[in-house]
Amino acid sequence: MPRVPIQILQDEYYRVLLPTGLPPERAALVAQRLAENQRDGIYSHGLQRFPAFYASIAANGIDVRATPEKVGGLGAIEQWDGRMGLGVWNAHFGMGRAIELARSHGLGCVALRNTNHWMRAGSYALQATEAGCIGICWTNTIPLLPPWGSAEVRIGNNPLAMALPPAEAPMLLDMAMSQYANGKLEVYRNRGEALPIAGGYDADGMLTRDPAAILAARRAVPMGYWKGSALAVMLDTLAALLSGGLASHQIAGQGTERRVSQVFIAIDGRPLADAGAWSATVKAIVHDLQQAAPLVEGDPVRYPGERMRQTREESLRSGVVVDEKQWAALLAM
Amino acid sequence: MPRVPIQILQDEYYRVLLPTGLPPERAALVAQRLAENQRDGIYSHGLQRFPAFYASIAANGIDVRATPEKVGGLGAIEQWDGRMGLGVWNAHFGMGRAIELARSHGLGCVALRNTNHWMRAGSYALQATEAGCIGICWTNTIPLLPPWGSAEVRIGNNPLAMALPPAEAPMLLDMAMSQYANGKLEVYRNRGEALPIAGGYDADGMLTRDPAAILAARRAVPMGYWKGSALAVMLDTLAALLSGGLASHQIAGQGTERRVSQVFIAIDGRPLADAGAWSATVKAIVHDLQQAAPLVEGDPVRYPGERMRQTREESLRSGVVVDEKQWAALLAM
């Protein structure tokens, strides 16, 4: 697949986003985040999704000029209303405010309601690492998964991200609640392969390794089965309580995914340790992991975020991988 | 199985704990927490584990009179040294302090190092709900699981708990990182049944549904496979960074599980919403979950913590279920 310099990709996003009415500094930020997703190998949230993302701005009635408004809170935790603004911008604002709170209070938490799809969860956890902070964030979604004990879609896929500094080599967990992302199920289906482990239910409500049956039934299974199901419910409930916003079942009531609820947490390490001590702790943990004998020779255990870092470095050296059709589609927009 | 009133069980724990040198108010608290585990149906962390818990006090060199000492922090987040005190007491102290911080800062976080096994993670999340707060806490452990990509035990089973008020009917997630607890694997093995899903590796490093093979190899699989593996690494790293204490691989270096690292977070809801609004939000989420068509007739979808609540209510009505031999063993101590 072709590669293009990240700046070219970012400029193209900016060109397309500006006529939506997004103020220039916002269009620049959104363009940067989208380009970074492609740079980091998160292809599902880059060019592949951009046409749908772009269309949702108008279709969902997003107010591209809206600025979040503070509605409550105390000290280290604040509640903000996203006022139906653009999700990527609002989430950037939310983590930015959490970082400010962390500077004064050691830890900062912003709960944001009435906001929209933030694209990639990891973006905002990584944003905290750029400020030398630990970042944790999650969002609820429209219902996409069956809770444990049912094959009926009722719970959100509620992505959760956590990242640790340093920003150049972050440890990053960025996971939705389903065992397999839809994109991954499609890859297996297109190859005609069974999943390594059960990934969802078929139309009869039976657990299956058949990706086509799961996609047809739209019933992916939560990661860890009963555990991921419970975690999804907790994250949705926490997001709704802290933000005063909608829970997944209420988002469903709107028909399309809009006015979601999100939580952003930043922790400033400086009152706890010097940066050298943190870095040494992380390095020792990574080193120990890498000593584990791999199950497949030549395929060592990776720390969370390691593959992203490798992809990112390659992208910065040689350009960002783009699908030819997707790239042409952006150029034509 | 016989049932005994919870107060009788608690009194027996107290009688046995007092001669360890635990100050009376601490012995009373630990006795209460252990009795509550049995009351809530967490039999793995009640009478069944008590002899090992009791023995560990002397064997691990625990200082039953130690009081945690504040060593750092800023505003909403504090770092404490548990000074090798009793884990249950130290953890109670840690969440108690997080609740105090939440009263002043909206949210409070205590990271505790050099502490010991806290028995049941859920105890401390529930402690926050007794103060009207949301509680989140986790601990690292000695390595008990293979990371994804290896069959070698290298990562902790790092229990994570989250609970929401009200205390009488909390929503509670209390989960370790393995797909199945060891106790659960033993139940299947003793019944001669295969697991419903792969639960670990056999001696050859192959994923298997055979509980006996997994127990023999001591290689349970993380929940959600790669996802639980990554979450376990993140929780361990966060606990070590925030507390300045040991990570799982360093705990392993000591030979037995001691001097673990823990994190306690409390969020006071009052600056965010009135209690009625929170309660209505939670009720609506639970109600929606209960509408999901069950896969097995008569076995409806449960919210996280629902089964515990049912067990607790039955225990308070009819007495706490005890295994006859385990109960006799406590009486004989």
| CATH assignment of B64-178+222-271, among 3.30.420.40, 3.30.470.20, 3.30.1370.60, 2.40.10.340 | 3.30.1370.60
**Mean of the per-residue pLDDT values of chain A:** 95
pTM: predicted TM-score of the whole model, two decimal places:
0.97
Q: Is the pLDDT of residue B44 over 90?
A: no
Is the fold of B64-178+222-271 the same as that of B183-216? Answer: no
List of chain A residues whose C-beta atoms are within 8 Å of the C-beta of residue B236: 285
Decide: B245 and B239 in contact? Cβ < 8 Å.
yes
The answer to whether B45 is a known catalytic residue is: yes
Report the share of chain B in percent with pLDDT over 70: 100
User: Residue B149: which of A205, A240, A294 has the nearest Cβ?
Assistant: A294
Inter-chain contact A106–B104, Cβ cutoff 8 Å? no
Distance from CA of B123 to the nearest CA of A (A): 17
* Closest chain A residue to B267, measured at CA: A77
**What is the structure's pLDDT at B198?**
84
Question: How far is C-alpha B119 from the chain's CA centre?
Answer: 6
Give the Cα-Cα-Cα angle A239, A224, B287 (nearest 5 degrees): 45
Q: Is the pLDDT of residue B196 over 90?
A: no
List of chain B residues whose C-beta atoms are within 8 Å of the C-beta of residue A205: 295
Cβ-based burial of A127 (10 A; exposed 0-12, middle 13-18, buried ≥19)? buried
Inter-chain contact A295–B205, Cβ cutoff 8 Å? yes
Q: What is the CATH number of domain B183-216?
A: 3.30.60.50
Residue ranges of A 195-224 with Cβ closer than 8 A to chain B: 197-198, 205, 207, 223-224
**What is the structure's pLDDT at A88?**
97
**What is the structure's pLDDT at A72?**
94
Of A7, A9, A27, A8, the C-alpha closest to A18 is A27
Q: Is the pLDDT of residue A181 over 90?
A: no
To the nearest 10 degrees (0 to 180), the angle between helices B275-290 and A226-243 is 150
Q: Is the pLDDT of residue B83 over 90?
A: yes
Q: Is the pLDDT of residue A227 over 90?
A: yes
Decide: B92 and B33 in contact? Cβ < 8 Å.
yes
Residues in chain A: 333
Per domain, the residue ranges of chain A are 66-176+244-270, 183-216
**Mean of the per-residue pLDDT values of chain B:** 95
**Which residues, in sequence order, are CB contacts of B46 under 8 Å at separation 6+?**
B34, B35, B37, B38
Arithmetic mean of pLDDT, A19-29 = 95
Chosen from A99, A101, A107 to mutate, greatest number of chain B CBs within 10 A: A107
pLDDT band at residue A204 using 50, 70 and 90 as cut-offs: confident
**What is the structure's pLDDT at A197?**
83
Inter-chain contact B293–A179, Cβ cutoff 8 Å? no
Domain spanning A66-176+244-270: CATH 3.40.50.410: no
Q: What is the CATH number of domain B1-59+318-333?
A: 1.10.1530.10
Arithmetic mean of pLDDT, B106-129 = 97
List of chain B residues whose C-beta atoms are within 8 Å of the C-beta of residue A303: 233
User: Residue A285: which of B149, B230, B237 has the nearest Cβ?
Assistant: B237
Residue ranges of A 118-177 with Cβ closer than 8 A to chain B: 134, 146-152, 154-155, 162, 164, 171, 173, 175
Arithmetic mean of pLDDT, B276-304 = 94
Inter-chain contact B175–A230, Cβ cutoff 8 Å? yes
List of chain A residues whose C-beta atoms are within 8 Å of the C-beta of residue B152: 292-293
